[in-house]
Amino acid sequence: MSVLQIMSNFVGVFMTSKRMNPTIPYSIRVGGKLMDLGTPKVMGILNVTPDSFYAESRKQSDAEIGRRVEEIIAEGGDIIDVGAYSSRSGAADVPAQEEMERLSHALRIIHEVAPGAVVSIDTFRASVARRCVEDYGAHIINDISGGEMDGDMFPTVASLQVPYILMHMQGTPQTMQSHPDYQDVVIEVMRSLGERVSLLHEMGVCDIILDPGFGFGKTLQHNYQLLSQLSLLHELHLPLLVGVSRKSMIYNLLGCTPQEALGGTTVVHTIALLQGAHILRVHDVKAAVEAVRIVQQTVHSNRTNPTTR
27-30 vs 33-36, strand pairing mode:
antiparallel
Backbone angles phi, psi at 165, to 5 degrees: -95, 115
Helices (H), the chain: 3-16, 62-74, 96-113, 126-136, 153-160, 185-202, 220-228, 248-254, 262-274, 285-304
164-167 vs 208-211, strand pairing mode:
parallel
Q: Which of 41, 247, 286, 293 is catalytic?
A: 247
Cβ 222 vs Cβ 252: under 8 Å? no
Report the distance separating Cα 181 and Cα 202, nearest Å. 30
Q: DSSP letters of 99-136?
A: HHHHHHHHHHHHHHH-TT--EEEE-S-HHHHHHHHHHH
On the 0-12 / 13-18 / 19+ scale of CB atoms within 10 A, 87 is: buried
Q: Which of 19, 59, 125, 281 is catalytic?
A: 281
Please confirm, yes or no, whether 281 is among the known catalytic residues: yes
Cα Rg for the chain, rounded, in angstroms?
18
From its phi and psi, is residue 274 left (phi > 0), alpha (psi between -120 and 50) or beta?
A: alpha
Backbone angles phi, psi at 207, to 5 degrees: -90, 90
Q: Which residues are catalytic?
A: 247, 281
